[in-house]
Structure 1
């Protein structure tokens, strides 16, 4: 039986790779995509999600547009405006315009109603700011207990990427992230920069995916190649001609949990510090009195991750 999931995204290049992986892997059943403001304005996140699904022949998967600004601080700088312009994403993905359209139902309503009606497990995978998820928690007191597992791309222990202290997804709506981490989900997995920076995808791997000749292989090579060029220019990794594809690692975990290695710890989000807002505070040495609430990934298996991408993108939609 395939594993059902919902992706909550701010599409972007790495979100697009995650969408394709979830939509094409035979062991996964992507029942919906919700969008949130983040890498680009939410309307472009929605359009990019539709483009991606159309391009790989999965326009049957519905897309629901979500919240356009942070929940608690609507005047907080629009996240993308505060990001250094690196060329990692761009406003619109470099694939044909969408022919499908978004659903009329709002993303948060879709999340609440889907989990309320669910008769089998649906994993929730947010790979952007956690605004939609925090809103669902606030509107439905039972939402948390209805979600069997939430897998979050976000956070960092050793280094940030939008500030010295913070990773972008958590920083972009720190109050929402703090709410989600404190909500009490039965199982919460966090895939931070510490893990994604160990699962780099090389330009050679891009060439291999392009050579597959499938829509997903072509698109993945295009998106990841763009990431590699941007990282080499603006944020070089330990290895040149390679870059992280953060969001797709969360989906790969659903296929093979051994692609990451986690430790069960307490994690909280800083919302007040002038220099540290958005930091994920990971209690690695049990200095606090809080019980563990998060399976935090410190390591990732690059070989397994790239193999999952390549094998899945060799497929075409049925």
Structure 2
């Protein structure tokens, strides 16, 4: 029986690869995608999400638009326009516009309805959150029993030794630190945190892109172009130790549901700084158990690029060839 999954995302480049992986993997039932402001404004996120689903023939998956601003703040800790340097997502993905409107219900309302349904019949679902955690925090605030309807929540965010938006913080947790702190303390029975420390270990290369493109499918071609876009962005502004490679953070989170050996994890207590002038949004990961606080997460500390590629190729090599066309921006 396929594992029922809901994705909560802010679709730019790596979210798009994650959506395709979830939507095409036989082991997963992609029940819905909820959208949140993050990489781009939420209306753009919603359109990008629907374009990706349409590309892979999964327009049947409903998309629910979510939060346009953080949980407590009027904007990011620093308006994104004032940040310098790193930007790779562009705005709209260069795919055909989606046909028809998104769902009428909000992302928060959908998450609560989904949780109630599962609690009523004694089942549970998996939530993969690859953007700011605003929608999830709002849903838990409105319906605390939601945590009992979720078997695993996978959160892409944070970093122990690695950051990307400030010297201290990773973007997803920094973009809404109050929401992230609430989600981490909400009492989920199994919270898997996938920080930059792990995703920066599962780097994809131009050779990997060639292998994806050779699959000859819509997802293979699109993912190759999106990863190549990420490689250019990283080489330009945040180069990896090996140039010509890039992380595809959100895809790692979905692939980890398909291959338990993809990630190496440790149990630790994780909190998020919400006040620090220099450290707002920083994930405080107590890897050495200095605080004595009970672990609230499984934290990924390593990830396998070989196993990530195996999952991408397995999912993206089983559909009909795609027409030619750009997908980069």
Class of the TM-score when normalised by the shorter of the 2 chains: over 0.9
Post-superposition CA distance 1:220-261 (Å, at most 9, x none) = 011111001111111100111110000000000100111001
1:32 matched to which residue of 2?
32
Change (3 A) 1:187 1:82: farther
Q: Say whether 1:274 aligns with 2:283.
A: no
Structure 2: which 5+ residue stretches go unaligned? Answer: 321-329
TM-score (norm 1): 0.97
CA–CA separation in structure 1 for the residues paired with 2:104 and 2:138: 18
Does residue 209 (structure 1) correspond to residue 205 (structure 2)? The answer is no
Post-superposition shift, 1:83?
4.3
Aligned to 2:238: 235
Runs of 4+ in 1 over 6 A off after TM superposition: none
Write out aligned runs for 1:185-204 (5 A): 185-204=188-207
TM-aligned CA deviation for residue 121 of structure 1: 2.2
Task: Find the counterpart in structure 1 of residue 108 from structure 2.
Answer: 108
Q: Which residue of 2 aligns with 1:255?
A: 258
Structure 2 match to 1:43:
43
Partner in structure 1 of residue 144 of structure 2: 141
Matched residue SS, 2:144: coil
Quote the residue 1:182 is aligned against. Answer: 185
The worse-fitting range, judged by mean Cα deviation, of 94-103 and 144-153 is 94-103
Aligned-residue RMSD, C-alpha: 1.3
**Is the 2:126–2:153 contact (alpha carbons within 8 Å) kept by the matching residues of 1?**
yes
- Residue equivalent to 1:98: 98
Give me the whole-angstrom Cα distance separating, in 2, the residues matched to 1:81 and 1:224.
Answer: 24
Distance 1:164 1:78, change over 3 A: closer
Please state how far the C-alpha of 1:79 moved relative to its aligned partner. Answer: 5.7
From the superposition, tell whether residues 299 and 76 of structure 1 become closer, same or farther in structure 2 (CA, over 3 Å): closer
Cα deviations by residue, 1:13-47 (Å, 9 ceiling, x for unpaired): 00000000000001010000000000000000000
Distance 1:13 1:181 in 2: 25
| Contiguous gaps of at least 5 residues in structure 1 | none
